[in-house]
Structure 1
Amino acid sequence: MLKRIFKLFVELSGNKFFSAILVKTTTSKWSKYIIPLFVKVYKIDKDEMELHVSDYESLHLLFTRKLKSGSRQIASESNCLISPVDGMIRDFGRINDSSRFPVKNTEIDLREMLGSDEKAQKYKNGHYIIFYLSPQNYHRIHSPIKGNILSSWILGGVSYPVNDWGLKYGKRPLSTNFRLITEMESNYQDVAIVKVGALNVNSIHLTNETNTLQYGDELAYFSFGSTVILLIENENFSFSSHLKEETAIKYGEQIGGYLHDGGA
């Protein structure tokens, strides 16, 4: 019975009506007055914000804020991969020869997530890492590599929450939610940056002005907290030894490196 109740709650949370209320509330002018409380409760670092707290006219503008220049140190070794976001590391590891593998309380199906068997085949035997962005996180997404954008495409429709309850009781949200996928190439083969929507807000905006990106260049932003998944084609990649699940990370931090040229 409890499982059914939780599942119902998750499905209601993914309802377009409730999502529309959320959007209307956070974009309204009166939401400005709860920003100081929001910042205090979530312990958001005001010194990193591009603007003063009083300059944000709505919660939505606070969610999509930029950081002051120099707020992050960007790793840039030629063979490294960096975190594209501020968030929590939910899981990471090796992708085996199957396109389906368990992650936390759910399952990832690469074919379902990427939209084709051809794309799924590319990332078999590669690696994955999942970042969860909560409402208090900085919501902009940056390039994890130095390379070129090959393509971007959109899949999915209805979006369920991507928190612990959503993963356990939703309908495979990491594979089926609305998602905007950007695939990039570098000297070390390809990386897919899977930006997963949540709560049917599905507001993911690409911001890059060129298809050639350096480490840490801005790529996109979420209007609300959600999830970013990196799929790494090269099997000769190794995650940094300091990485741990359920720990915070900031964009620009190195998450691993390639052992040698992948033959791109």
Structure 2
Amino acid sequence: MTFKVFLQYILPHRALSRVVYWATRWTFAPWKNFLIGLIVKRYQVNMTEAAQPDPFAYPHFNAFFTRKLRPDARQADTAPSALISPADGRISQAGPIVDGRIFQAKGQEYTAAELLGDDESAAPYRRGRFVTIYLSPRDYHRVHMPLRGTLKETVHIPGRIFSVAPFAVEAIPRLFARNERLVCHFDGEHGPFAVVMVGAILVSSVATVWDGLVIPPYASSIRRKSFEGQNVTLERFGEMARFNMGSTVIVLLPEGVAELDALTSQQSIKVGQRLGELRHT
């Protein structure tokens, strides 16, 4: 075990996240400009795509981190049958779900039931498809719909807040099924699908377009919220949520709903870019 991985086990995750949560919302100009400048320089953030291209015009670091893009900065694949990426980032892994098991990294896997919080919710995905996308600090941190869907339920699942960077994904068993996360269950024209927002160390913070800030507060037990009958329907490519710090998005599809393209680990991806082809079921 490397020292970086060892630290993941001993650091006070939630205490650190609470400190960083407030630090990234402090409007003191020298402080927020220092943080913003550091990230822009270190990660070579492309501010020409942002609706507000001046990084120091944002009132605090979190406003910069969750910045809007220009309307023409991202476009959805024009084919209506294309499954599209919900986020900017890199493909961590993608492929078939084998008897309910999802590949995490070499030597690591977890189950759909562990990820979603129960066996019943995982049943449709036992032999389905999954796509895992990692967002780094340089990426656009708003998450969009991979296809049109009506929200049925959200499930806030408590857990650790390990880093989701590649070094941690390769070393920490069942990482995505252990981190705090928000599971969003949808019904679509091709059947059910799930979009899972996985938190990460240093502010596991998630906000949705229908509920606002959902995490924090952090959960001590599984919390379910039904949206049956509320007609929360989101269009393909429409914004659904945002991460307030670096994170991971996982899309689950049942068997026969889509055929994924030849996606490779660490492949760069943008919101709206094609991930595969939807089948009519």
With normalisation by structure 2, the TM-score equals 0.84
Contact 2:20/2:202 (<8 A) preserved: no
Alignment-derived partner of residue 247 in structure 2: 226
Deviation string for 1:55-88 (max 9, x for gaps)?
A: 1122221111111112111124332210000011
Kindly provide the amino acid, as one letter, of the partner of residue 21 in structure 1. V
Contact 1:86/1:133 (<8 A) preserved: yes
Give the length in aligned residue pairs: 257
Moved runs in structure 1, 4+ residues, more than 4 A? none
In 2 relative to 1, CA 240–204 (structure 1 residues): closer, same or farther, beyond 3 Å?
same
Q: Distance in 1 between matches of 2:261 and 2:246?
A: 25
Alignment-derived partner of residue 269 in structure 2: 249
* Equivalent residue for 2:80, pick from 78, 97, 102: 78
- C-alpha deviation, 1:223, in angstroms: 0.4
Alignment-derived partner of residue 184 in structure 1: 186
Deviation string for 1:1-27 (max 9, x for gaps)?
A: xx1644421123462233333333332
Contact 2:90/2:268 (<8 A) preserved: yes
Aligned-partner SS, 1:167: helix
In 2 relative to 1, CA 101–73 (structure 1 residues): closer, same or farther, beyond 3 Å?
closer
Alignment-derived partner of residue 138 in structure 1: 140
Aligned-partner SS, 1:27: coil
- C-alpha deviation, 1:127, in angstroms: 0.2
Kindly provide the amino acid, as one letter, of the partner of residue 132 in structure 2. I
Q: Distance in 2 between matches of 1:131 and 1:48?
A: 20
Kindly provide the amino acid, as one letter, of the partner of residue 226 in structure 1. S
Q: Distance in 2 between matches of 1:99 and 1:130?
A: 15
2:21 is equivalent to residue 19 of structure 1: no
- C-alpha deviation, 1:200, in angstroms: 5.9
Q: Distance in 1 between matches of 2:12 and 2:97?
A: 29
Contact 2:100/2:127 (<8 A) preserved: no
Structure 1 stretches lacking a partner, 5+ long: none
Contact 1:13/1:161 (<8 A) preserved: no
In 2 relative to 1, CA 101–220 (structure 1 residues): closer, same or farther, beyond 3 Å?
closer
Alignment-derived partner of residue 101 in structure 2: 100
Pairing of 1:34-183 with structure 2 (within 5 A): 34-51=35-52, 52-96=54-98, 98-105=99-106, 106-170=108-172, 172-183=174-185
- Identity across the alignment (%): 29
- C-alpha deviation, 1:201, in angstroms: 2.1
Alignment-derived partner of residue 261 in structure 1: 280
Aligned-partner SS, 1:180: strand
- C-alpha deviation, 1:117, in angstroms: 0.8
Deviation string for 1:148-198 (max 9, x for gaps)?
A: 122211112321111123224435220121111111222211210010001
Deviation string for 1:7-51 (max 9, x for gaps)?
A: 421123462233333333332231223423421331211111111
Q: Distance in 1 between matches of 2:174 and 2:11?
A: 15
Q: Distance in 2 between matches of 1:14 and 1:234?
A: 39
Contact 1:14/1:158 (<8 A) preserved: no
Contact 1:14/1:161 (<8 A) preserved: no
* Equivalent residue for 1:217, pick from 208, 216, 238: 238
In 2 relative to 1, CA 102–69 (structure 1 residues): closer, same or farther, beyond 3 Å?
closer
Contact 2:259/2:276 (<8 A) preserved: yes
